[in-house]
Amino acid sequence: MNATTDFRERATAALRRCGADPAGPAGPADGDLVVTTPIDGSEIGRIRSHSPAGSDAAITTAARTFETWRDVPAPVRGRTVRRLGELLVEHKADLAELVTLEAGKIPSEATGEVQEMIDICEFAVGLSRSISGRTMPSERPGHRLMETWHPLGVVGVISAFNFPVAVWSWNTAVALVCGDPVVWKPSETTPLTALACDALLRRAARESGAPDGLHHLLLGDHTVGEALVDDPRVALVSATGSVRMGRVVAPRVAARFGRCLLELGGNNGAIVTPSADLDLTVRAVVFAAAGTAGQRCTTLRRLIVHRSIADDLVDRLAKVYAGLRVGDPFEEGVLVGPLISSRAHEAMRTALDRAQHDGGVLVTGGDRVDGPGDGVYVSPALVRMPTQTDVVREETFAPILYVLTYDDLDEAIALHNAVPQGLSSSIFTLDQREAELFLARSDCGIANVNIGTSGAEIGGAFGGEKETGGGRESGSDSWKAYMRRATNTVNYSTELPLAQGVEFG
């Protein structure tokens, strides 16, 4: 059995164990959407894309289901999510295998992504019994002033290839307990993982007594996602992708007065101070910069190091980089899998050429590495830059870490903030004043001390500022994006006093 056949059969077997039809719900296996694995470039499936009529039918059914689902008590809605979490535990290995096959992640990272799904289900089940409003003092006697939260409507989820299941689950688990059906447009690069998740959620809904039509897949290219963007029946569009994509989505949703939750680009930086624990710093930096082959929105791309320790830290990093094993993610000991496509490699080469033209010095990496078949493998690159040039200010979705130096912490924080993106950030220091100053001044949605920029837990709200889009998903009070707020005044007296002492009549 050759590798191509093996990967196809592994994907098909994992789908079937999850209860999914390998051909997909939209058509037969000779469909127009060809699914390949970045491991060797081979075909592992074919699916037929949804037509505009099919997209409309999915949204219509979801909108109709909302009329029923919103009236189901939240704790009862939580039973469906609880059952989904149980099924995710049962099929954890199957889903992780699909993530590795479609996205190229090493099994440990793929399994961790599925664990995120399980974690958010647990969070959402607790949320189903704790969604709360508030009561405020009324200025009028015999009156009660309060805020209540209500289901919003159909939620459209547009997800990217690099986290093919976790980001969907962040939105879907919370949306369901908030009373909202979901229509999901996954990346056309990773539709098999979506088929598996859809099958498991449909089973969870069926076994928990939830109504039909609670979840729908829209398979295809960006034109399929446009149905979610432009349809007024979709109350919230949660979109993860590039800044370019966000610039298109946001005004189109705003034009119909819909809501947007955007998770866009990240150009994440970390400051390393003279007091930092360099052993810890190296471990954190290498994972944040090279994990997932640099294809995370939270990947560390800029390392801002105090001049007094820069040479030492770069030497340490270069030694570790030289030992990173790059290759087939299924092989034992491999830590860096493939890039998603040859286009990603072209973007990486272009960025490195620009950096060197700007005076940057390539310390190590950046080379094409042999791998199976037509897979695109590269060694993570470490580049010392004299200044933060335009190429450093841009996000390149590949494993490139630019190293800059600073003399004063205020200078370092200003340098850190001087990029258009604002997702994740960190500082490595043993000085509490430095840590607190950074936390107060980092302009990112995520700011960490003595850990890297990637690997967020589901308990905290995830998202960023500036060109990252301003959205918040996952934990904390992110649930508010999936509900609408109402201010209520109840008069339980026999009088009718007006607010602000107004007299009328």
Residues carrying an active site annotation: 263, 297
Two tokens, residue 435 = 């840590």
Q: Name the DSSP letter for residue 161.
A: S
CA dihedral 392, 397, 401, 407 (to 10 degrees): 40
* Integer Cα distance of 68 and 443 in angstroms: 42
Specify the amino acid at residue 169.
S
Within 8 A by CB and 6+ apart from 206, the residues are none
Distance CA 343, CA 398 (A): 10
SS3 466: strand
User: Which residues are CB-neighbours of 175 under 8 A, at least 6 positions away?
Assistant: 155, 181, 182, 236, 482
Residue among 254, 245, 216 nearest 62 (CA):
216
DSSP of 257-318: T-EEEEE----EEEEE-TTS-HHHHHHHHHHHHHGGGG-STT-EEEEEEEHHHHHHHHHHHH
Contact 193, 64 (CB under 8 A): no
DSSP string, 44-60: EEEEPPPPHHHHHHHHH
Instruction: Name 462's bridge partners.
Output: 473
Give SS3 for 402: strand
Q: State how far the Cα of 266 lies from the Cα of 362, in Å rounded to an integer.
A: 22
Q: Find out whether 261 and 178 touch, Cβ atoms under 8 Å.
A: no
| Amino acid, single-letter form, for residue 318 | A
